[in-house]
């Protein structure tokens, strides 16, 4: 997917998430998981002592209201900053 195309979708989706979050808790009707905006990405552990250090893994990234993708290494548990696979 093109970066600009995803960013347009993500901007709208983040606005929806923030709008839902601003409602009273009993009126917060979050999107179902299959409807949650996601994009393929790559996660690579950057902890030098980890057995999978530097090995890229394909992951599915789910959009967050703050627009930041977060991940965790499945081997060492350290946080990873995943990168969405988008074309410029
Ligand atoms: Zn690791």
The domain spans of the chain are: 3-84
- Quote the ligand 1 centre to 59 CA distance (angstroms): 15
Question: Region 51-55: what's the mean pLDDT?
Answer: 98
Q: How far separated are the first and last CA of the chain, in Å rounded?
A: 9
- Quote the ligand 1 centre to 85 CA distance (angstroms): 20
- Quote the ligand 1 centre to 46 CA distance (angstroms): 7
Separation of alpha carbons 41 and 55, rounded Å: 13
pLDDT at 17 (0 to 100): 96
Q: Give the pLDDT band of residue 80 (cuts 50, 70, 90).
A: very high
């Amino acid at each position: 997917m093109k970066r600009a195309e995803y960013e347009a979708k993500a901007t709208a989706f983040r606005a929806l998430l923030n709008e839902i979050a601003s409602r009273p808790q009993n009126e917060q009707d979050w999107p179902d998981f299959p409807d949650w905006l996601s994009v393929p990405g790559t996660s690579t552990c950057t902890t030098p002592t980890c057995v999978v250090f530097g090995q890229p893994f394909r992951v599915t990234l789910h959009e967050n209201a703050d627009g930041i993708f977060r991940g965790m290494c499945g081997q060492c548990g350290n946080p990873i900053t995943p990168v969405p696979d988008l074309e410029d």
